[in-house]
Structure 1
């Protein structure tokens, strides 16, 4: 499917040259389309396997899957907007509500869906199109560090990844990934001016722009330390500082919007905590950075019968292992400092704000530029093994979240 397959399988030179002669946009498009066909087959099989105990019932359609789960929340935002009065549970705590979902994707689908008279059709179309362009931009930014074959394989892994179903459902991830890759590409190419547009769009599509603020800070430090071999003009310093401030402002602005609209200064944080309360026996009173991961480590390891202390030790070891991977692994280092710094920044952001549960797999998708590291080894058997693992993981995720979707850890 990818360049490396065609080259190393040694097909007739005419076919190989014809493939390599196609514009990269077309080659990526062909690979992306093939991956979407595979995902559609997985969805069809999952629909056949779905039973009466599934959230989707017996024999749902792919369309039912596409507008299920959080897609319903985005649709609800598009139709009803955001509440001026926070809904409460019977215990008097803030209940789940629209303030947890950013507006760009929801309202864009509402506008584009007018000709179809269908929010869901437009939402899926946005995800599909944004997914293709995300693949194309990912290829462009990886080509700054990797050869053509490795970059193509990395895109193939990304388009076939365990969470690749997100390209075909009414979730904002595809659009967010496109904006994220464009932003990373701008940083890597020193085209900072584009970020004044991209950062607000990204920030109001999905949470995560605060991680990009951290990236910009670390990027500024890295460029300062490397200024002897990579000149740092004053205008770049001004851009990095201004954009870091913009990313911070955008990242916190949604809390301000929710506070003004509801009259409750803690409206957004209380809304986010509403989801966390579903997992813990004791209600969470206030948001405390890092507390979510520590509580989750104890929760999950207790659920597995291994004890809360074991969970906290495992969390510390996992953080150390990931840090070592980002710093020392030669395949990750080959991707360049910007991707490594983004990965570190985003993981720090998750550690500070997230309570890991079944949606943790989806929350890790912004780390997708690291697929480039998986594509660095030149062995065809290695690359095919990674691709096979991607497809197996994709089927596992679709089967559990859609064909089953009937227990607490089967929520995407």
Structure 2
């Protein structure tokens, strides 16, 4: 009997040691970025799946239809990528009765549908299943690349919170839709990461992948130009070897060449040099009825005027408000201390991409989706160490995600509810 307490203590000690060992193993697993990011990303995808399932049920109760999770996730542009993946691009442009080019597949770049078509053979040729699978996997890759990109400038905890904001944010449903966004963000985050690490050789691969996945590579060309200028002026404190100068110049030229090549390809295949531009403008003409050509900034001005009228705002006031917003965003990127901590590469990219949108975009409901390449700025939102702040940002992102799913997928039946 006298030995029993010793045995009890031994058993308790053994259980404690085993528990501690399991705890240490769990901490070691969590310390691995791939595991930690995967846990965050999977949890976010489960939440999105619930949101979409609820949205499908709401849609069916309203309309008596037969919407499913899959049908919602393949709506809008997902249908166009499906056309590209299965049928390719038209050799003759579709025209309306007046001879104007109408909406067609040339507006959608080939990398995502090509990968999806290849993966579909694993799913008995089911393109929609493959499209969602590619988007989900690419979204995880984009999340992991974002973590490593931000870890170059901020601590591990903040980087993981930034990944949570990204994976569960207002536009996170796109990581499960038949869209090219998650694949483009994978290439973009990797490209910014190797730029920060100055491993320029990888960009010779990533630039064509970006350029043929989604529009935006011309913004990256300008980023390389301004990055090179910044490095040149700082060469006394941050040496700029000749080999890096050569890489920066060649990569900038490559990005510009890739950016202008798709319109040339469309022109050669269709026999119409303006095929791509006319195709892009066909989406805008549903709003404006205008049949003129492309003029930089014009689309943003035209659409702003339309929205000012919709909102009942005098145009003069609207343009003043828009100007103030642009100045505020520039000031944020230049002076805000949390943004400054992210480094010159991310700040330059963010500023240039916003300018690119002003130059070429006709803003409507898809403006939210087109802002996703600003995702590295989530790092700035994650820097304040207050747990209440971080949980609040995450909650706002989840609420925004439900709003976006409801408005764009569940209720999205008109041309001004296009995700």
Are 2:411 and 1:404 equivalent residues in the alignment? yes
**TM-score (normalizing by structure 1):** 0.94
1:2-401 superposed matches below 5 A = 18-22=25-29, 23-51=32-60, 58-116=65-123, 117-280=125-288, 282-401=289-408
Larger radius of gyration: 2
- 2: distance between equivalents of 1:262 and 1:307? 43
CA 1:153–1:328 in 2, change beyond 3 Å: closer, same or farther?
Answer: same
Map Cα deviations across residues 211-264 of structure 1 (whole Å, 9 max, x no partner).
100110111011111112211000000000000000000000000001111111
- 1: distance between equivalents of 2:21 and 2:292? 66
Consecutive unaligned residues of structure 1, counting only runs of 5 or more, are 1-11
3-state secondary structure, aligned to 1:407: coil
Consecutive unaligned residues of structure 2, counting only runs of 5 or more, are 1-18
3-state secondary structure, aligned to 1:114: helix
CA 1:15–1:406 in 2, change beyond 3 Å: closer, same or farther?
Answer: farther
Answer with 377-386 or 223-232: which moved more. 223-232
Runs of at least 4 residues off by over 6 Å: 12-16
Post-superposition offset of 1:167: 0.7
Paired residues, number:
398
- 1: distance between equivalents of 2:327 and 2:314? 20
- 2: distance between equivalents of 1:82 and 1:53? 36
3-state secondary structure, aligned to 2:122: coil
- 2: distance between equivalents of 1:169 and 1:367? 19
Post-superposition offset of 1:66: 1.9
Post-superposition offset of 1:154: 0.3
Map Cα deviations across residues 10-53 of structure 1 (whole Å, 9 max, x no partner).
xx998875554212211111111000000000001001100487
- 2: distance between equivalents of 1:358 and 1:397? 10
- 2: distance between equivalents of 1:317 and 1:87? 41
**TM-score (normalizing by structure 2):** 0.92
Q: What is the CA RMSD across the aligned residues, in angstroms? A: 1.6
- 1: distance between equivalents of 2:21 and 2:388? 24
Higher relative contact order (CA 8 A, sep 6+): 1
Answer with 66-75 or 402-411: which moved more. 402-411
Preserved contact between residue 50 and residue 402 of structure 1 (Cα < 8 Å): no
CA 1:48–1:338 in 2, change beyond 3 Å: closer, same or farther?
Answer: same
Greater fraction helix: 2
Preserved contact between residue 60 and residue 67 of structure 2 (Cα < 8 Å): no
Post-superposition offset of 1:305: 1.1
Map Cα deviations across residues 132-158 of structure 1 (whole Å, 9 max, x no partner).
111111000100000010001000100
Answer with 108-117 or 182-191: which moved more. 108-117
- 1: distance between equivalents of 2:150 and 2:26? 20
Map Cα deviations across residues 272-324 of structure 1 (whole Å, 9 max, x no partner).
000001112x4141000111111111110011111222222222111111111
